[in-house]
Amino acid sequence: MTYLDEVKATLIDVLSLGDAGQRLNADSPLLGSLPELDSMAVVSLIGALEERFGIAIDDDDLSASTFETLGSLADFVAAKRAE
């Protein structure tokens, strides 16, 4: 399973997207495009990513570009795992 697949599965689970989430791909916009991804959901998603991937995400690590697309979020997780 790739980082993209695992991040997508986490996103679908945290936001309860169900079948609609299966259509997401690397270029799918997230922040501002998914109504489910509000500020509280971002906090929940960060916690779920930290737990699933064994990473620590500091507030300083995050920017709007991190959540621009599913691909950018997966790339961010991959980079955190490589640290």
The pTM for the full model equals 0.94
> For position 26, what pLDDT does the model report?
98
Rounded distance between C-alpha atoms, residue 35 and residue 50, angstroms: 22
Sign of CA dihedral 54, 45, 7, 28: negative
Mean pLDDT over the full length of the chain: 95
Domains and CATH numbers, the chain: 3-82 (1.10.1200.10)
43 φ, ψ (degrees, to nearest 5): -60, -45
Rounded distance between C-alpha atoms, residue 82 and residue 37, angstroms: 26
Give the tens place of pLDDT for each residue, 24-44: 999 999 999 999 999 999 999
Strand partners for 29: 69
* DSSP H stretches of helix in 16-65: 39-53
**Given a cut of 90, is residue 1 above it in pLDDT?**
no
